[in-house]
Amino acid sequence: MNDDKNIVFKSFAMIMQFGFNMLVPIFACTFAGIWLGDKLGLEILAIPGFFVGAVAGATAVYRQARSIYKKNGRDAVSDVSSAGISDFYNRGKKHDKEAEKTEQSAP
């Protein structure tokens, strides 16, 4: 029971860290663009600042997720490409077989 709570709290902390890793660069770069735009008289600099922050945040989240996968002894790319697709395919086949059994048993 205590292990279940520990896993929940660790998962919640990881999700919060993903959010902070995404939001902090976006806000920082957007406000830097606003400040620089005010100084230079180009208020449109907030828009490129937002996109630079979004790319920086996405990169940070990607690196964090990749390090978590490596820490668990898995390769993120192979997990998603092979296991994810095969699991999806197998679940579809299982669902189709169950639907056939239901149709055959119906009068």
pLDDT digits (tens, 9 = 90+) for 48-99: 999 999 999 999 999 998 888 887 766 545 544 455 555 555 655 565 666 6
Instruction: Please give the average per-residue pLDDT across 31-54, as a whole number.
Output: 94
In percent, how much of the chain has pLDDT > 70?
Answer: 65
Give the position of tokens 């990749």. 66
Sign of CA pseudo-dihedral 3, 15, 28, 71: positive
Question: Helix, strand, or coil here: 1?
Answer: coil
| CB distance 69 to 76 below 8 Å | yes
CB atoms within 10 A of CB 10: 10
Q: Is the pTM of this model over 0.85?
A: no
What number is the average pLDDT over the span 33-62? 94
**For 4-8, 19-23, 63-67, which range has the lowest pLDDT when averaged over its residues?**
4-8
